[in-house]
């Protein structure tokens, strides 16, 4: 069983979709820890509801020690793969180094389009519509030091429809994200996407 750690800032619907896939047995993995920078996040509430260890760790609570505290939480619960699920903070060097090649993110566009610093959540959908794109989509990729630039593992297109508002496009993309993220983890768990498993190096 692949042990999954999550970092999430807000609703946590992507994380929930992955938890549900584990519960349903379609994904051979075990969600073992959730970390959020936001004490009021839906992600932390969902984690507690699912009996998964949940931590509120932020620059406010931990200052300079934040990166080490996040790494300690992930390692305490023996997370092997880290899923960023709407995590709106930059990851510290501690986690990036210890989990190099084993940190995934989901982004609500067809990267490299509409990625990079400041491009997240609804801002992405607003930018896609402002650019007059005919299609958007979702991307699962590996995380490195640069925003949204790691190797793409999976991508799925979503049509932009006439009359779309950012909210309607977001809803259509989010439905695909939920399916795509879990499906990518299924391929990782089955060894079809090789990533360096299982032990943390730190
Ligand atoms: C998702 O759409 C995700 O792709 C996006 O935030 C949303 C989180 O929703 N992430 C980014 O924009 C990262 N750059 P969720 O909390 O319901 O999973």
pLDDT for res 198: 61
In ligand 1, the atom with minimum distance to the C-alpha of 106 is 4
What is the token pair recorded at 196?
Answer: 């360096």
Name the closest-CA residue to atom 17, ligand 1. Answer: 13
Which ligand 1 atom is at minimum distance from the Cα of 13?
17
Contact yes or no for 65/74 (Cβ under 8 A)? no
Question: CB under 6 Å to ligand 1: residues?
Answer: 8, 10-14, 85-86, 106-108, 120-121, 124, 174, 177
Tell me phi and psi for residue 120, to 5 degrees.
-155, 160
Active site residues: 107
pLDDT digits (tens, 9 = 90+) for 89-147: 999 999 999 999 999 999 999 999 999 989 999 999 999 999 999 999 999 999 998 88
All structural domains of the chain with their residue ranges? 1-100, 106-195
Task: For 106-195, give the CATH class.
Answer: alpha beta
Task: Determine the Cα–Cα distance for residues 20 and 22; give it in Å rounded to an integer.
Answer: 5
- pTM for the whole structure: 0.95
- Burial code (b: 16+ CB inside 10 Å, e: under 16) for 110-140 equals bbebbbeeebbeeebbbbbbeeebeebbbbb
- Domain 1-100 in CATH 1.10.287.3510? The answer is no
Residue-level length of the chain: 202
CA pair distance 163, 177, nearest whole angstrom: 22
| Shortest-distance atom of ligand 1 to CA 120 | 12
């Amino acid at each position: 069983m692949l042990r999954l750690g999550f970092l999430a800032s807000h609703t946590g619907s992507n994380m929930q979709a992955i938890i549900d896939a584990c519960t349903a047995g379609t994904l051979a993995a075990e969600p073992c820890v959730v970390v959020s920078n936001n004490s009021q996040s839906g992600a932390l509430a969902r984690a507690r509801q699912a009996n998964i260890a949940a931590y509120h760790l932020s620059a406010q609570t931990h200052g300079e020690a934040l990166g080490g505290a996040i790494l300690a939480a992930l390692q305490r619960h023996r997370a092997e793969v880290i899923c960023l699920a709407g995590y709106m903070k930059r990851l510290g060097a501690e986690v990036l180094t210890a989990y190099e090649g084993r940190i995934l993110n989901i982004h609500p566009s067809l990267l490299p389009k509409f990625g990079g610093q400041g491009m997240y959540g609804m801002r992405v959908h607003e930018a896609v519509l402002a650019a007059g794109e005919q299609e958007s989509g979702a991307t699962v990729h590996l995380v490195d030091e640069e925003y949204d630039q790691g190797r793409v593992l999976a991508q799925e297109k979503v049509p932009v429809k006439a009359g779309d508002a950012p909210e309607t496009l977001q809803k259509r993309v989010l439905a695909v994200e939920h399916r795509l993220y879990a499906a990518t983890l299924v391929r990782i768990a089955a060894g079809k996407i090789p990533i360096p498993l299982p032990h943390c190096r730190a």
